[in-house]
Chains A and B, each alone.
Chain A
Amino acid sequence: GAGVSQTPSNKVTEKGKYVELRCDPISGHTALYWYRQSLGQGPEFLIYFQGTGAADDSGLPNDRFFAVRPEGSVSTLKIQRTERGDSAVYLCASSRNSGGDETQYFGPGTRLLVL
């Protein structure tokens, strides 16, 4: 079946603008994760959904970042008033369940560049 997909693959925006990044998880996967990867770093956890609810949003850097998963499938990561420091690859992953040993399957990421 299809893997995790993310759109757009690349996004260039200007400082101060609003952006939305979309993630389509593997069908049937109940858990969905957002990570951010900066150059030379590993993925950094942002937020995790179990079903429709955000089970852990402790990784969101500030209140400019918000994510939703209204129907328990597709998720959107929203960034308000973007800053140059937000430039990174935003990765989405999904897993069958939310156990700490469940394999997470990653999408290809959205490369965000804030000018």
Chain B
Amino acid sequence: DQQVKQNSPSLSVQEGRISILNCDYTNSMFDYFLWYKKYPAEGPTFLISISSIKDKNEDGRFTVFLNKSAKHLSLHIVPSQPGDSAVYFCAASARGYGQNFVFGPGTRLSVLP
């Protein structure tokens, strides 16, 4: 039973446009969320995070939005660049209950030149 879901296995976006990656979770105890990016043959690298006390966090071209009532978060990349092409993983943790991240299955983003 997946606690973190990324229902789109893949997404293609034109360079310069906005990429929106979505993530849904089921465990209401989750209070910290992260996005990781993964290139082939490399480990995941941290991209951006958000605490449940916020509904938005921005870092350059990357913005994460959190909708706690819907148990939904999204990652916006504006403008998208070809180097953003990678697999993006959403992850969640319940900080008061342990240190484990639960990862979604990932969404493969392709930014087309």
Question: How many B residues are at the interface, by size bracket?
Answer: 20 to 34
Residue A53 at the chain B interface, CB threshold 8 Å: no
B46 touches A45 (CB 8 A): no
B100 touches A101 (CB 8 A): no
A9 CB to nearest chain B CB (Å) = 8
A42 touches B106 (CB 8 A): yes
In the bound complex, how far is the Cα of B112 from the Cα of A5, in angstroms? 32
A105 touches B46 (CB 8 A): yes
In the bound complex, how far is the Cα of B103 from the Cα of A45, in angstroms? 9
Of the listed stretches A11-19, A60-68, A73-81, A91-99, name the one at the interface; the rest are far from the partner chain: A91-99
Chain A residues with CB below 8 A from B9, complex form = 40
A-B contact count (CB 8 A): 68
B99 touches A56 (CB 8 A): yes
A45-B101, A55-B99 given as contacts; is B89 within 8 A of A103 (CB)?
no
B102 touches A45 (CB 8 A): yes
Residue A4 at the chain B interface, CB threshold 8 Å: yes
Interface string of A31-48 (1 = CB under 8 A from B): 101010000111111001
In the bound complex, how far is the Cα of B32 from the Cα of A104, in angstroms? 13
Of the listed stretches B14-22, B73-81, B90-98, name the one at the interface; the rest are far from the partner chain: B90-98
A101 touches B95 (CB 8 A): yes
Interface string of A80-115 (1 = CB under 8 A from B): 000000000001010000111111111111000000
A31-B99, A42-B4 given as contacts; is B105 within 8 A of A103 (CB)?
no
In the bound complex, how far is the Cα of B34 from the Cα of A103, in angstroms? 9
Enumerate chain B interface residues (CB-CB to A < 8 A).
4, 6, 9, 32, 34, 36, 41-46, 49, 51, 89, 91, 93-106
